[in-house]
Structure 1
Amino acid sequence: MNMKRSILIAIVGITLLGSLFLAPLSVAARPETSQATTTINTSIYLTAEALKPYFQERINQQVPQSVNGVIDSLVKKQPQQQQGWMKAMAGALLQPGATLTDLTTQQDGLVTSLRLSLYQGDPKPTDAQLLVTLSVLDQQTIQVSAKPLAHSPALFQGPLTTLHVPLGQLQQITTTPSCGQSALGLDLGLPLSFKEHKPENSPQSTTLASLQPLAMTQQAGLSGTVIEIPETSLASIGKGIGALSLGNNLYARNIQISVQNGQLVSVSDITLGQSLKLGVATTLIQPDAAQGKLAMKVQKTTLKVLSLFDFEVDAYNQQIEQQINMQLNTALANTFTVTEATIGSNASVPCTANTSLLLTGTLSAL
Structure 2
Amino acid sequence: MTNDPNVKETKQLIKDLVSIPSPSGNTNQVIQHVKSLLDEIGVKSTKNRKGGLIATVPGQNETQHRMLTAHVDTLGAMVKEIKSNGRLKLDLIGGFVYPSIEGEYCKIETANDTVITGTILMHQTSVHVYKNAGSAERNQLNMEVRLDEKVKNEEDVRALGIEVGDFVSFDPRVQLTDAGFIKSRHLDDKASVAILIQLLKRIKLENILLPYTTHFLISNNEEIGYGGNSNITPETVEYLAVDMGAIGDGQQTDEYTVSICAKDSSGPYHYGLRKHLVELCEKNQIGYKLDIYPHYGSDASAAIKAGHDIVHGLIGPGIDSSHAYERTHEDALVETEKLLYYYVQSELVE
- Range class of TM-score, shorter chain: under 0.3
Structure number having the greater strand percentage: 1
TM-score, L = length of structure 2: 0.23
Q: State the structure with more CA Rg.
A: 1
